[in-house]
Structure 1
Amino acid sequence: MGKTKLKLAAIIGAVILSSSTAFASLEDAKDLKIISYNVYNGMKLDESEGKQKFIDWAKMQDADIIAWQEMNFFTREKLEKFAASYGHNYAVLLKEAPDDPASFPVAITSKYPIVNVNKVVDNLWHGALYADVGKYHFVITHMNPFWTSKRIDEINLIIDSIKYSSDPQGKWIIAGDLNSFSPADKSEYDNSKLLEDIKDKQKKRPILDNLVNGQLSYTVQQNLLDAGYIDALKLKNKQFISTAPTKVFYDQASTPLRYDYIYVSPKLKDDVVDVKVLKDEFTDTYSDHYPVQMIIHNK
Structure 2
Amino acid sequence: MKKTFKILSFLLLCSLFAPDVAAQEKKTFKLISYNVYWGMRQDSTENKSKFAEWIRQQDPDIIALQEMNGFTAQNPEFAPKGSNPNNLQKLAESYGHPYVYIVREPAPDGSISFPVAITSKYPIVNVTRTVENASHGFITAEIEGFHFVVTHFHPFSSEKRGYEIDQILATVKSKPAGWKWLLMGDLNSVSPLDRSEYDNNLLRDFIREDRKKRPHNKNLGKDDELDYTIQQRILDFGFVDAFKMFYPQFVPSAPTKLFYDQSKHPLRYDYLYVSKNMQKDVVKCEIIKDDFTDVYSDHYPVMLIFKK
Question: Scaled by the length of structure 2, what TM-score is found?
Answer: 0.86
Partner in structure 1 of residue 73 of structure 2: 76
Q: Tell me the equivalent position of 1:46.
A: 43
Residue 52 of structure 2 corresponds to which residue in structure 1? Answer: 55
> Which of 167, 185, 194 is the matching residue for 1:157?
167
Q: Are 1:115 and 2:125 counterparts?
A: yes
1:161-204, Cα deviation, whole Å (9 max, x unpaired): 01012x24311000100000000000001125111101011111
Residue of structure 1 equivalent to 2:105: 96
Whether the aligned pair in 1 keeps the contact of 2:153 and 2:188 (CA below 8 Å) is: yes
SS in 2 for 1:157: helix
Is the CA contact 1:73–1:101 (under 8 Å) kept in the aligned structure 2? no
Partner of 1:277: 287
Residue number in structure 2 paired with 1:184? 193
State the shift of 1:102 in Å: 2.2
Residue 233 (str. 1) matches residue 230 (str. 2): no
Name the residue aligned to 1:222. 232
Which whole-Å deviations, capped at 9, do the CAs of 1:248-271 have from their partners, x for residues lacking one?
132111110100001100111000
1:143 and 1:250, CA in 2 relative to 1: closer, same or farther beyond 3 A?
Answer: same
Q: Give the partner amino acid of 2:63.
A: I
Whole-Å separation in 2 of the counterparts to 1:57 and 1:133: 23
| Residues 1:140 and 2:140 are matched in the alignment | no
Partner of 2:209: 200
Supply the AA of the counterpart residue of 1:132. Answer: E
TM-align CA RMSD: 1.4
- SS of alignment partner, residue 305 of structure 2: strand
> Aligned-pair distance for 1:288?
0.3
**Shift in Å, 1:100:** 3.4
1:53 and 1:80 map into 2 onto residues whose CA distance is 16
Measure, in 1, the Cα distance between the counterparts of 2:198 and 2:150: 26
State the match for 2:12 in structure 1.
Answer: none
Match of 2:34 in 1: 37
Q: Unaligned regions of 5+ residues in structure 2, if any?
A: 1-23, 75-86
What SS does the aligned partner of 1:281 have?
coil
In 1: Cα distance, 2:161 partner to 2:247 partner: 25
Find the counterpart in structure 1 of residue 81 from structure 2. none
Which residue identity does 1:189 align to in structure 2?
Y
Task: Give deviations 1:25-79, integer Å, cap 9, x for gaps.
Answer: xx99721000000000000000001001000000000000000000110011311
Give the corresponding residue for 1:87: 96
Partner of 1:161, secondary structure, is: helix
Point out 4+ residue stretches in structure 1 off by more than 2 angstroms: 98-102
May I ask how many residue pairs the two structures share in their alignment? 271
Pairing 1:162-181 to 2, within 5 Å after superposition: 162-165=172-175, 167-181=176-190
Larger radius of gyration: 2
Over 3 Å counting, the alpha-carbon distance change for 1:264 and 1:250 in structure 2 is: same
Secondary structure of 1:185's match?
Answer: helix
| CA distance in 1: counterparts of 2:163 and 2:27, whole angstroms | 37
Residue aligned with 1:91, SS: strand
Q: Note if contact 1:72-1:100 (Cα within 8 Å) is conserved in structure 2.
A: no
8 Å contact 2:92–2:98 — kept in the other structure?
A: yes
SS in 1 for 2:71: coil
**Corresponding letter in the other structure for 1:137:** H
Distance of 1:29 and 1:161 partners within structure 2: 29
State the alpha-carbon separation in 2 of the partners of residues 143 and 154 from structure 1.
Answer: 7
Asked if structure 1 preserves the Cα contact closer than 8 Å seen for 2:73 and 2:105, the reply is yes
Structure 1 residues without counterparts, runs of 5 or longer? 1-26
